[in-house]
Chains A and B, each alone.
Chain A
Amino acid sequence: MLLFRSEEHVDRWCKVWKMEQGAILTLDQQWHLAQAWYSPDRRNPLWRRKTVDETEVALAAAGLTGPFWNVRPPA
């Protein structure tokens, strides 16, 4: 997950590396996701990784839905 100056720079990077463009997030979306993911205190004995359902909720709350953000294991 890299930071770029603009979508044009992402396009150029993808061409150089011969990669298809993935997903582009605004900084607000990225910050929202970082807060949702990392705010829970990992020192807490009750902390555990998010379940698939919880991950979907966190992604959706940042506006990240659709096939690219599907975290469910293949059936």
Chain B
Amino acid sequence: MNQSTDDLDRRVRRLVYDVTLRRGTPPTLAATADGLDTSPQQIAASFQRLAAGRVFVLAPDSGEILMANPFSAVPTPFLVEFEDYACYGNCIWDAMGTVAMRGRDARIKTSCGDCGAPMELRIVSQALHSGHGVAHYALPARRWWDDIVFN
């Protein structure tokens, strides 16, 4: 990677997370190109490099951002409600991750992976305020990225 692609990737990462933290969903490829006054081809290549570096996960067909971890671009079973917007985490780790990343109070709404009963966690002042349950990791850590969408 040369210095110019390195610099572009840093600017792309900054813009993507800036937008995502502000509104809860990552920007499109076109919006990122507009925001950085760069060609969509250069942004698509940057997205690919950042995905290879496991910063983003891209939709296979469109090359758009599917996950700007911990945020999901599409609805998932992990809804996170902040005072100013609601967003989706990719899993329970990521749902909590959106709260850690923003440093704001939030309510996480999901359901039991087994029986589907609604479950709710509240995080207040960066502490777990209420909620019950356990998180289950089906795959060992070394295999998390084998199929990150499943995991």
Interface residues of A in 24-75 (CB under 8 A from B): 24-31, 33-35, 37-39, 41-43, 45, 47, 49, 55, 59, 67-74
Interface residues on A, range: 35 or more
Q: Which residue on chain A has the smallest CB distance to residue B53?
A: A49
Closest-CB distance, A7 to chain B (whole angstroms)? 6
Question: Inside 8 A of A72's CB, which chain B residues have their CB?
Answer: 142
B115–A31 touching, CB < 8 Å: no
A33–B91 touching, CB < 8 Å: no
A27–B142 touching, CB < 8 Å: no
A-B interface pairs (CB < 8 A), number: 149
Main secondary structure of the interface of A (DSSP, over half): mixed
Closest-CB distance, B116 to chain A (whole angstroms)? 10
Complex Cα distance, B95 from A3, in Å, reads 11
Q: Write 6 A-B pairs (CB below 8 A) sorted by A numbering.
A: A1-B151, A3-B134, A27-B131, A27-B135, A70-B142, A71-B141
